[in-house]
């Protein structure tokens, strides 16, 4: 009796000792942790970050294109499940853009997530002893270029409300800087990146979206193209032309050469979020009626908005044309392509009053879309109108029109569909900022 009792007591006591001494930490079972990258990351880890960066650039891209397309009155986004496409974005009645709306929160967060990844890539490349200096410069140059591009996309939405540039320390985020300062910081970052890339040796793979641009020289050309776009936004026309010359700009080249977000059905990959089949009901992207109203009857860009079998309506909006820019779920979405560069060339020349150069470029675009040469007035304002018109149709649904009319203070010329609708000029910063 006593024996068994004493025995059990000892057993219980030993058990207590045993469990008290065995501490369990299972680590993270599901994925790598950030800490592991700071600790002398190897090349394949860094390459994973490059790919992750490139891949994540596509997150919320559909929302970004919808934001610019809807406010710029290029498209309607029909949806039975979210009224905010008709209310907030079009400013129906008293509706405002909300600082908690998915249209800004998701896009903002997705872009800064890529920026975070770029910062992690820069930091871990700088801390790694397992790569050469020229390899390091390649990682850093790539990361800075993408970072600058992502910052530009956010700034495009928030406009005068500004963005944060310095976000490397999550506990001490840098200040929110205004539009002009942000643009100049982005331009500087692009310059830094291209300096890094000059002596870089690329040892990471890129997707087919970068085909033709996946070496150091190619990445510099991509970097300069983005820099040219930034220079245009800064109204710095000389700089725009300089950048154009070191980019892949080619007046007589293929409109569609450039760098793209690509999509595929592979595991962990993404499908084109801006694609909807033609004649979709319920959820659909349809062209704003003004698209077909304003287009020249010969213009082949009408094929970007195909006629529906039946019109689609909701909340007082109706359209009979689908957006048909992305024709399947793996169609690429341009980051920047030659057609835009040709139009940047035209714009810079107009602004510098070199009308002949501008008209040459405009005619290349017009002829490329089955239109006769430009025959309008050879004045700056007439040419600006023409350039904006060509940009509207050439870059339809690629995220430009709203920005273009805003740059030229023409937001009030955009068509209003319902009496109390508004045309917004900037998105509010997310409420969490």
Partner 1 sequence: MKQKVYKFIFLLIMLLPFCINAQQKTIDGKVTIENNIPILGAIVHVKNTNNISTTDGEGMFKIDAPNEGIIEISFTGYISQSIPVTSISSPLMIQLKEDIARLDEVVISGLSTNIKRRNLANAVATISAKQLSGIAPAQTFDAAINGKIPGAYINASTGAPGGGVSVKLRGVTSIFGNTQPLYVVDGVFMDNSSTSGGLNAVTSASSGGNSSNQDNPSNRIADLRAEDIANIEILKGASASAIYGSKAAAGVIIITTKRGNKDKTNISVSQDLGFVKVRKLLGTRPLTRDIVLSQRGWDVNEYDAAVASGKVYDYEKEIYGETGITRNTQLSLNGGNSTTSFYFSAGTKKEEGIIKRTGYSNSSFRLNVDHKVSENIKIGLSTNYINSSADRGLSGNDNAGITLGIALSSTPSFTELHPDSKGNYPRNNYASSNPIETRDKMENNESVNRYLTGINAEAILQKSQRSLTKLIGRGGFDFYNLQTKALFPGSLQFQQINRGTSIQGNTNNLNTNYIFSMVNNYSPTNKLLLITSAGITQETGRYNNLLNVATQVIEGQSNVDQAGALTSTQFRTRNTDNGIFAQEEVSINEALNLTAGVRFDKSSNNGDFSKYYAYPKAGLSWNLTKMSFWKMDFFDNVKLRSAYGQAGNFPAFGSKFTSLSISNIDGLPGSVVSTQRGESGIKPERQTELEFGLDLGFLKGRAGLEITIYNKKVFDFLLQDRVSASSGFTTQWINAGDLQNKGSEIGLNAIPVATQNFKWNTSINFWKNRSKVTKLTTGPVQLGSLAGVLLGTFQLEEGKSATQIIGLTDEVVNGPPIKVWGDQEPDFQMSNYNEFVFKNKLSLRVLIHWKKGGENVVFTNLQSDFGGTSPDWDADANGNKIPDGLDRIMLIGRSAVNSVKSSSYLRFREIGMYYTFDKMKVKYLKSIQVGVSLNNYITITKYPSYDPEVSNFGAGFSSGLDVLPYPASKRAAFHLIANF
- 247-306: contacts with partner 1 (CB under 8 A): 262, 264-271, 275-277, 280-283
- Whichever of 101 and 258 has its CB closer to partner 1, that residue is 101
Q: Which is nearer to partner 1, 116 or 392 (CB)?
A: 116
Q: Are 103 and 63 in contact (CB under 8 A)?
A: yes
**376 sits near partner 1 (criterion: CB under 8 A):** no
Q: Which stretch binds partner 1 (CB under 8 A): 66-74, 207-215, 239-247, 383-391?
A: 207-215
Nearest distance, CB of residue 72 and partner 1, angstroms: 21
Start-to-end CA span in the chain (Å): 70
Cα(71)–Cα(101) distance, integer angstroms: 15
382 in contact with partner 1 (CB under 8 A): no
Gap between the Cα atoms of 155 and 152, Å rounded: 5
Taking the least distance from each CB to partner 1, the nearer of 305 and 317 is 317
DSSP letter (8 states) at residue 104 = H
Nearer to partner 1, 129 or 265 (CB): 265
Minimum Å gap between C-beta 290 and partner 1 is 18
C-alpha pair distances (Å), 300 with each of 92, 276, 327, 371, 411: 33, 21, 16, 8, 26
Q: Is there binding between residue 177 and partner 1 (CB under 8 A)?
A: no
Half-sphere exposure of 122 (CA within 13 A, CB side): 18
Interface residue with partner 1 among 98, 184, 201, 242 (CB under 8 A) is 98
The alpha helices in 130-215, defined as continuous H runs, are 133-158, 179-198
> For partner 1, which stretch binds (CB under 8 A), given 15-23, 185-193, 244-252, 340-348?
15-23
Cα-based distances in Å from 9 to 5, 16, 323, 400: 6, 11, 78, 78
CB nearer partner 1, residue 156 or residue 394:
156
362 Cα distance to chain centroid: 26
Per-residue x/- marks for partner 1, 116-155, CB under 8 A? xx-xx-----------------------------------
Q: What is the DSSP string of 334-375?
A: EEEEHHHHHHHHHHHHHHTT-HHHHHHHHHHHHHHTT-PPP-
Query: Smaller CB distance to partner 1: residue 286 or 341?
Result: 286
Among residues 163 and 344, whose Cβ is nearest to partner 1?
A: 163
* Subset of 393-432 contacting partner 1 (CB under 8 A): 430, 432
Query: How many residues belong to the site for partner 1 (CB under 8 A)?
Result: 104
Rounded CA gap, 16 and 432, in Å?
Answer: 47
Residue 167 touching partner 1 (CB under 8 A):
yes
Q: Left, alpha or beta for 253 (phi > 0: left; psi -120 to 50: alpha)?
A: beta
Q: Is 105 in the site for partner 1 (CB under 8 A)?
A: yes
- Segment 22 to 81, residues that bind partner 1, using CB under 8 A: 23-26, 28-35, 37, 45, 47-56, 58, 79-81
């Amino acid at each position: 009796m006593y024996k068994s009792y004493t025995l059990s007591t000892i057993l219980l006591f030993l058990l207590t000792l045993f469990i008290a001494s065995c501490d369990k930490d299972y680590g993270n079972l599901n994925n790598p942790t950030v800490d592991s990258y700071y600790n002398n990351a190897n090349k394949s880890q860094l390459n994973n970050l490059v790919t992750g960066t490139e891949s994540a650039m596509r997150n919320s891209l559909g929302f970004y294109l919808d934001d610019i397309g809807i406010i710029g009155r290029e498209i309607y986004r029909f949806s039975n499940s979210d009224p905010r496409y008709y209310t907030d974005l079009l400013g129906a009645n008293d509706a405002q853009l909300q600082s908690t709306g998915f249209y800004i929160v998701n896009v903002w967060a997705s872009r800064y997530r890529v920026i975070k990844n770029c910062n992690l890539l820069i930091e871990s490349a700088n801390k790694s002893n397992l790569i050469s200096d020229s390899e390091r410069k390649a990682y850093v140059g790539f990361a800075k270029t993408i970072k600058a591009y992502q910052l530009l996309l956010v700034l495009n939405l928030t406009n005068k409300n500004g963005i944060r540039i310095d976000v490397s320390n999550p506990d001490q985020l840098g200040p929110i800087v205004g539009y002009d300062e942000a643009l100049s910081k982005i331009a500087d970052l692009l310059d830094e990146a291209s300096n890094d890339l000059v002596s870089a040796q690329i040892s990471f793979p890129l997707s087919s979206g970068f085909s033709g641009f996946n070496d150091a020289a190619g990445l510099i050309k991509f970097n300069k193209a983005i820099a040219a776009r930034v220079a245009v936004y800064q109204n710095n026309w000389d700089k725009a032309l300089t950048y154009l010359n070191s980019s892949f700009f080619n007046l007589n080249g293929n409109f569609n050469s450039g760098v793209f977000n690509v999509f595929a059905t592979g595991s962990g990959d993404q499908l084109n979020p801006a694609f909807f089949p033609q004649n979709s009901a319920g959820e659909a992207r349809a062209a704003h009626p003004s698209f077909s109203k304003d287009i020249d009857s010969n213009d082949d860009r009408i094929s970007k908005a195909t006629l529906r079998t039946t019109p689609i309506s909701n909340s007082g909006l109706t359209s009979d044309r689908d957006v048909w820019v992305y024709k399947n779920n793996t169609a690429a979405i341009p980051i920047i392509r030659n057609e835009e560069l040709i139009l940047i060339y035209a714009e810079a020349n107009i602004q510098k009053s070199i009308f002949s150069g501008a008209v040459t470029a405009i005619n290349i675009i017009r002829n490329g879309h089955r239109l006769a040469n430009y025959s309008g007035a050879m004045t700056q304002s007439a040419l600006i109108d023409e350039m904006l018109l060509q940009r509207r149709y050439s870059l339809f649904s690629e995220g430009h029109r709203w920005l273009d009319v805003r740059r030229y203070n023409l937001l009030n010329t955009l068509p209003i569909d319902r009496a109390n609708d508004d045309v917004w000029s900037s998105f509010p910063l997310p409420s969490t900022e």
